[in-house]
Amino acid sequence: MRRILSIVAVLAALFLVFGCAKGEAKAAADIVKFGVFEPLTGANAAGGAEELDGIRLAQSLYPTVTMGGKEYKIELVITDNKSDKVEAANAGQRLVDSDKVNIVLGSWGSGLSMAAGPIFKDAKVPAIGLSCTNPLVTRDNDFYFRVCFIDPFQGTVMANYAYKEVKARTAVIVREVSNDYSVGLAKFFTDSFKALTGNQNSILAELNYNTGDQDFSAQLTQIKSLKPDVIFAPGNYTESALVIKQARELGITVPFLGGDTWEIAEFINVGKEAVEGAVMSAFFDNDAPITPMSKVFVAEYQKKYGKLPSGTAVLGFDGYILAIDAIQRAGSLDPIKIRDAIAATKNFAGAAGYITFDANGDPIKSAVIKQVVGGKFIYKTTVNP
């Protein structure tokens, strides 16, 4: 009798184990995994957090994707690349090997995206960059796309602003030399500014610093002696704000121009009144809706977070909804079909504008120019390609 009871108990246990496993397998089969690849700690954490806010808002509004008449739940698999290129490569590897995500969103920071790009390509996992503007992110990688403009355009926009609006004929470049984004954007600005001025010597100096530096007195002392018409300082929001703050303390009154990485609340929090008047390129303005989705995004973002969104947050939102659209058009979780669907995207109405990809996986989009006025990022104008 005891033997029979033991056999029954074993069979019951096996039934429970295999029954649960079958249920878990079915649940897993009903889930699509979106890998979120962002710097959530380290020097770029504020930027990563902004993009994640946009992604989470999109998920709260659109939590599922439909394929073949069946609805699948979207799961966010969030990984922290720690604002470090080595950690970024490790985080990318985990997403494709351990987490087995279907698609990747991110990263804030071109260098971080470039570090993981070959991993996504080799694993054949499609990735959508959000605000990574360096052209090398997508070059020679047919699995990496992006929803933002790229630096050759951004650099030209800011060089034109310096030349036409500031009336600058000389400039100094201040580069975050350990940052691929900063070095690349500085070069594109330099090339365009020299062409506009017709003077190969119009860039008086290119001065460097490293991520995490706190003291810029040596660079600023040299700038003060050079007396440029404008200073272009494309770098991380924290260091850039400190550069401007210390420049003002040294009596340098020259206008400062920067790139999209400045439009983060931390830039104003660090620089305070010193960054008043600073001008930067940006991705989006809340008061200048481009598509019907623009208004939806701004209203829902305010409802969820109790504040107006940044241009970085809107790109997190757009990357997520574009991923849904591509998967639904692919009608499959086959990574090649998803990749092909993303590449075929035409006139997709995101919140930050319409998206059509070129052969490199880059969209052709407008840039917004903003200025810090009264402690806020204020819209100045839109520049079309």
- Mind listing the pLDDT tens digit for each residue in 131-154? 999 999 999 999 999 999 999 999
Please return the burial class of 29, using the count of CB atoms within 10 Å of its CB with bins 0-12, 13-18 and 19+: exposed
CATH number of 30-149+287-366: 3.40.50.2300
pLDDT of residue 199: 98
- Would you state the pLDDT for residue 95? 99
* Predicted confidence band of residue 28 (pLDDT cuts 50, 70, 90): low
Provide the pLDDT for residue 287: 87
The mean pLDDT value for 162-176 works out to 99
Average pLDDT over residues 3-17: 46
Q: Which of 20-24, 39-43, 239-243, 363-367 has the lowest mean pLDDT?
A: 20-24
pTM of the model: 0.90
Report pLDDT for 289. 86
Query: What is the band of 20 on the pLDDT scale with cuts at 50, 70, 90?
Result: very low
Residues 152-282, CATH architecture = 3-Layer(aba) Sandwich (3.40)
Identical fold, 30-149+287-366 and 152-282: yes
CA angle 314, 320, 323 (to 5 degrees): 135
Q: Tell me the domain boundaries of the chain.
A: 30-149+287-366, 152-282
Mean per-residue pLDDT over the chain, rounded: 93
Q: Which residues, 6+ apart, have CB-to-CB distance to 98 below 8 Å?
A: none
**Is the pLDDT at 17 greater than 70, yes or no?**
no
